[in-house]
Structure 1
Amino acid sequence: MNSGYDLSASTYSPDGRIFQVEYANKAVENSGTAIGLRVNGGIVLALEKLVHSKLLVPGSNRRIQSVDRHIGMATAGLLADGRHLASRAFDEALNYRETYRAPTTLKALAERLGLYVQAYTLYSSVRPFGVSAVLGAIDKEGPQLYVVEPSGIYHGYHGAAVGKGRQLAKTELEKLKLSEMTIREAVFEAARIIHLCHDDNKDKEFELELSWIGPETNGLHLPVPKDLYEEADKRGRDALDADMED
């Protein structure tokens, strides 16, 4: 059907499509859901990490990573591509600090990452990144949330979702009054949405990953404390059970 137009990322189809980029988006859609919430005073990142083997050590191979002290990144798609992109983001943030003697703004970092990802759609010798990244931070402009997609495009959001359950997650995010929500309330809502999205993929086990940036962390990107994590995880499961009973 594609008549060879999908053999290279540098080849357009007659109707102006780049099939390799569309295939990269499919890789993201086959991954677990990742969401970000920008609320009053902070950022919450949550992720559905599918467990492909019972032999894996719980908590290993994390998909939410810190790329600077105040910046977190959650990735959906190919794990190796996500690690590479996180490493690039770390280098960009470090270079900004060394050049300007100040922490990077998230907008500047998203722009640099977008340019880097887009470069991989220009040459036949490479392939596009099969990953979408949700970036959250608190910088001099306040809480910020961006998404960088496989095409290299990036947008700022109040609430963002990528991965397999992104449509359902976006629907749930649109129902929330994010600007009026506290960061602790956002943690509970994020856990609920991830459990709800996973309900369509019941045959696979998953680990819930949660991190936040806000006054409780002094502006640093850190995992959600164990007691709050366990409470949020339990509330998410209970809310899902209640919906199923209804």
Structure 2
Amino acid sequence: MSSIGTGYDLSVSTYSPDGRIFQVEYASKAAEASGVAIGLRCKDGVVLAVEKVQTSKLLVKGANKRIVSVDNHVGLAASGLVADTRHLGKRAAEEAQNFKETYGSPVGLKALMERIGAYVHAYTSYGSVRPFGISTIVGAIDKTGPQLYVVEPSGAYYGYRACAVGKGRQVAKTELEKLDGSTMTVREGVKEVARIVHLVHDDNKDGNFELEMTWIGPETNGFHVHVPEDLLVEAEAAARRALEEDMDED
């Protein structure tokens, strides 16, 4: 990349001779180097999870949130730069509020994704800004049912049944492909997602981590909230047992 990109990666508005925008690719690398984020669309809701690697023993558990509420029924999780995640979450909340004030009803996720995608794409079009260094997962329950999307640093967005971004995403995607979310409840989804996050985490390289998980479903009355502590503890314990059983079989 460096041999081709030299001189063409100084501005986000500059194309290389072969039509690439290197700063967008660099932003994607920043997202890929962060802890994994997973989204799972179940038959009755959506589960979001983020692997928060503990870079210091002094960090307060539960204080540094990586998943934000965009609206009552919409949650946003991302892998990559934390500041970019919070900025985009705030912008998405403003767009959701603007939609509600204009049309008098909660925003549908597809309409919200069109606005977020356009906003992220704008940051790849002008020399005075840089792309967002995050890959973003957005989940919701709207009038069409559970929905799940991913927004890339380029501004492109895609609808998914299940998705993973960040470090370890390939292993996570392989595990997600084995699941049938259309027959799974969100409570079952919480346990499966916890198992996958524990599976992809590398203790040798990353050390300790904290699992942050939220859900939207019938048990939350359609609101995006954090998974209750007792259920999260139960899910993590089940995940550790499953990993130990797999190691014993090997």
Please tell me the TM-score bracket, short chain as reference: over 0.9
- CA positional deviation for 1:244: 2.3
Which amino acid is 1:41 matched to? D
- CA positional deviation for 1:241: 2.0
1:235 and 1:72 map into 2 onto residues whose CA distance is 25
Which amino acid is 1:141 matched to? T
Identity, in percent, stands at 67
- CA positional deviation for 1:207: 0.3
* Residue in structure 2 matched with residue 218 of structure 1 by the alignment: 221
* Residue in structure 1 matched with residue 42 of structure 2 by the alignment: 39
* Residue in structure 1 matched with residue 58 of structure 2 by the alignment: 55
Secondary structure of the 2:92 match is helix
Is 1:184 aligned to residue 187 of structure 2?
Answer: yes
Which residue of 146, 151, 167 corresponds with 1:148? Answer: 151
Alignment of 1:1-246 (within 5 A): 1=3, 2-199=5-202, 202-245=205-248, 246=250
- CA positional deviation for 1:202: 4.5
The farther-off stretch of 140-149 and 194-203 is 194-203
**Deviation digits for residues 148-196 of structure 1, max 9, x if unmatched?**
1100000110001100111111100001111111111100000000001
1:144 and 1:240 map into 2 onto residues whose CA distance is 30
1:3 and 1:205 map into 2 onto residues whose CA distance is 38
Task: Give yes or no for contact 2:46–2:148 (8 Å, CA) kept in 1.
Answer: yes
The list of structure 1 runs, each at least 4 consecutive aligned residues, that deviate by more than 4 angstroms after superposition, is: none
- CA positional deviation for 1:226: 1.3
The structure-2 alpha-carbon separation of the partners of 1:201 and 1:79, relative to structure 1 and needing over 3 Å to count, comes to: farther
TM-score, length basis structure 1: 0.98
Task: Give yes or no for contact 2:53–2:206 (8 Å, CA) kept in 1.
Answer: no
- CA positional deviation for 1:41: 0.8
Which amino acid is 2:52 matched to? K
- CA positional deviation for 1:201: 5.5
**Deviation digits for residues 2-29 of structure 1, max 9, x if unmatched?**
2211111101111111100000000001
**Deviation digits for residues 184-238 of structure 1, max 9, x if unmatched?**
1100000000001103754421100111100000000011111111100111112
Number of equivalenced pairs? 246
**Deviation digits for residues 64-88 of structure 1, max 9, x if unmatched?**
1111000011111000000100000
Superposition CA RMSD, Å: 1.0
Which amino acid is 2:119 matched to? Y
Task: Give yes or no for contact 2:47–2:213 (8 Å, CA) kept in 1.
Answer: yes
TM-score, length basis structure 2: 0.96
2:6 and 2:218 map into 1 onto residues whose CA distance is 55
Unpaired stretches in structure 2, ≥5 consecutive residues: none
